[in-house]
Amino acid sequence: MEKHKPLVRNMPQLLHGGDYNPDQWMDRPDILAEDIRLMKLAGVNAVSLGIFAWSVLEPEEGRYEFGFFDSVIDNLYQNGIRVLLATPSGARPAWMAQKYPEVLRVMPDRQRILFAHRHNHCYTSPVYREKVRAVNTALAEHYKDHPALIAWHVSNEYGGECHCELCQQAFRAWLKEKYHGDLDLLNRQWWTPFWSHIYTSWDQIESPTPPDGRGEAYLHGLTLDWKRFVTHQTIDFMNNETAPLRAITPGIPVTTNFMDFYEGLDYSKFKDALDFISWDSYPAWHDTARSNYMTACRTALMHDSMRSYLHKPFILMESTPSAVNWKEINKPKRPNMHKTASLQAIAHGSDSVMYFQWRKGRGASEKFHGAVVDHVGHEHTRVFGDVAQVGECLKKLECVRGAVTNSDVALIYDHENHMALKEAQGFQKSDKKYIDTLVNYYYPFWKNGVSVDVIDSGYDFSGYKVLVMPMLYMIKEGVEERIAQFVANGGTAIMTYLSGMVNENDLCHLGGFPCGTLKDAFGVWAEEVDTLCPDERNAVSYGGQSYEVRDYCEIVHAQGAKTLATYEHDFYQGGGAVFENDYQGGKAYYIACRDTGALTQALCEKVIADTAPARTPRADLPVGVVCTMREDAENKYVFVQNYTDEIQFATFEDTRAVDMETNLPAGSEIELDSFGVRVLRFPKD
């Protein structure tokens, strides 16, 4: 179990730092000097620099000004702080928008935007691509030998779509390639005889618009292909901007920062174009709509998904030291939460804790967004103290950097499936709760210290013991066979209602759901779906207990499977609700209804008991306390986190743990402050 190599060049430390915008303070050398003093106090060792600095780097077309950043970077380096240097394509200078309007995005209503905001360029425009390439080339040439440079932070949070004529042409070309120039094939896959939509020429095809917009919204094949094209074109844009970086600085790794379950892009397709994954995490701690414990669960799932794209540690690129500014209610983190939330990222595979932002700006829309340094300007704030504490702690956790996460369980999060479910008209039309359902199925594993990889349905399943596939509505070519093979080879699979219904172009599979051989593997045929009204409930009996169910009750026939649970009410009373099927060497469970949590938990805990996946050392944990583990050849690093606002205790069977912050034996009973965290090192036997 070898540790992974450092993600960034020449830096075997956990990174601690964040977005630094000295270009907002060019007239305040005193503040820039103070930044260095404060960064050292806070234990900062790396910053992301120049993310929105294009108008400073290239104040006039073709005139590059690196002098200011030279002095900033030299100064950082002399003080032991390294740089993830950004390419500035996330926001363009005004002169460019004025001279070349084609760089500005066209909205779905076919109106071009004005010069405004950020993250809103046309990703097809040859002019924009050329300008980005030129500035990136200049940056790479200028900084290629600078020892401060440890990684490229490419652009910022790519996202959105452009509907200009250039993008339409590129879309049509992409379609021609996908459908091998065969328009009939496209017509069949998009089901265009519906509402007389048969295309007779490629240039009749237009990008879709929202349902109340001017354009098409009801050919789901078109909408899905458009979304795929947007991902493709964004990656193509990114490759255009990374080409000079790769050529000029081959030793400097490249990343771009992802966002949560962002619907606009399929991140699973980016993995081959990046050296490591990074992401921006902003959980809604202390929101009364959800317990911190469940917020932690959802965040853990996100971290796991980021780790799973490349199966290696990732970088937490942004998080807030206190509040954000863009939620409806923006709450600062309560005492201890900053450390707990930061170490949660490390626990799930991050090799960093980075922030947006280092210092609060004076003006514009992010002036009240949390930052390490507040407007008061000094270090004597609660937030600065919290950050400095994390800085100290990360130094003591140094040996966790590169440690691996060993998962025997895979949960499928498939972006295209997500988008198809969203589009599907039927069932619960506007919110089918795919993400909530993923959280529901992730929870029992997370709660029990079982590590989970979160993967796309195109990924290899063969190394796992358990495959969990909630609402896998879209079964793409080859996936059906790979799931059946996984079970045949001895794996345990869990599938739910609304699964195996459509192919990758959203055409329904014929012959009964779930499609094809899945009916054999799971031993069921799902005939109908009863969609419940929001206030309606049914119940199922399982193992002598009654469990409340809601939203979906599928009416399913066992075709070889054993019925484990039955419906208690309605015309399908007594019918099967949960099925277990022995299929060749493995087991397949089909869960036909959505429960309120307890049934999923009971079933997943049965699977954990039967399959014995890798998990943290045994412990007695109260509700609200969770253990997560990374490991290397010698040690298990166990993060014990309390997401309640009360003091809690966790008791471990293995008494050999050392507390990594104090370096003292931890004993078997661990005390946790409210929102407290302890990191324990267990020797491997």
**Which residues are annotated binding-site positions for substrate?**
118, 156, 326
The option from ligand GLA, Zn ion, none interacting with 356 (CB < 5 to 8 A, set by class) reads ligand GLA
| Chain centroid, CA 552 distance in Å | 27
For 271, which DSSP code? Answer: G
Q: Residue with the closest Cβ to ligand GLA?
A: 280
| C-alpha 190 chain-centroid distance | 29
Q: Which residue of 179, 229, 314, 356 would you call a contact of ligand GLA, by CB under 6 A?
A: 356
Known active-site residue 671: no
Residue from the set 228, 348, 369, 418 that interacts with ligand GLA by CB under 6 A: 369
Size of the site for ligand GLA (CB under 6 A): 9
Indicate the residue among 279 and 675 with the shorter CB distance to ligand GLA: 279
Specify burial of residue 4 (Cβ count, 10 A radius: 0-12, 13-18, 19+). middle
Residue numbering of the annotated binding site = 118, 122, 156, 162, 164, 167, 326
Strands (E), 395-544: 409-412, 452-455, 466-469, 492-496, 524-531, 538-542
Count of residues near Zn ion by CB under 5 A: 6
Contact residue for Zn ion among 48, 120, 124, 340 (CB under 5 A): 124
Q: Work out whether the CA dihedral 88, 90, 93, 96 comes out positive or negative.
A: positive
Beta bridge partners of 637: 630, 681
* Contact (CB, 8 A) for 387 and 349: no
The nearer residue to ligand GLA, 280 or 416, going by C-beta atoms, is 280
Residue 177, classed as helix, strand or coil, is helix
Q: Does 23 bind ligand GLA (CB under 6 A)?
A: no
Give the one residue of 15, 91, 122, 252 binding Zn ion; rule: CB under 5 A: 122
**By CB under 5 A, is residue 167 in contact with Zn ion?**
yes
3-state secondary structure of 237: helix
Q: Taking CB within 5 to 8 Å according to partner kind, which of ligand GLA, Zn ion, none is near residue 302?
A: none
**Residue closer to ligand GLA (CB basis): 371 or 660:** 371
Query: Would residue 65 show up in a list of annotated catalytic residues for this protein?
Result: no
324 binds, among Zn ion, ligand GLA, none (CB under 5 to 8 A by kind): ligand GLA
Among 318, 504, 554, 580, which one carries the catalytic annotation? 318
280 binds, among Zn ion, ligand GLA, none (CB under 5 to 8 A by kind): ligand GLA
Q: Which two tokens stand for residue 581?
A: 């099927």
Q: Report the alpha-carbon distance of residue 618 to residue 607 in Å, rounded.
A: 17
- Residue 49: CB minimum distance to ligand GLA, A: 13
DSSP state of 475: -
* Residue 318 sits in the site that holds ligand GLA (CB under 6 A): yes
Nearest 10 degrees: CA dihedral of 238, 240, 244, 247?
A: 90
Q: How far is the CB of 320 from ligand GLA (least distance, A)?
A: 6
Helical (H) or strand (E) element with 260: none
Residue 152 main-chain phi, psi, to 5 deg: -100, 125
In Å, how far are 265, 500, 516 from 506, measured between CA atoms?
Answer: 18, 11, 16
Out of ligand GLA, Zn ion, none, what residue 156 binds, judged by CB under 5 to 8 A for its kind, is ligand GLA
In whole angstroms, give the CA distance from residue 83 to residue 149.
5
Using CB under 6 A as the binding rule, the residues of this chain from 114 to 173 that contact ligand GLA are: 156-157
Q: Which 3 state secondary structure label does DSSP give 566? A: strand
Candidates 57, 164, 397, 412: give the one binding Zn ion (CB under 5 A).
164
Beta pairing class for 46-49 and 15-20: parallel
Contacts with Zn ion, residue ranges (CB under 5 A): 122, 124, 162, 164, 166-167
Q: Which residues are the active-site residues?
A: 157, 318
Contacts with ligand GLA, residue ranges (CB under 6 A): 156-157, 280, 282, 318, 324, 356, 366, 369
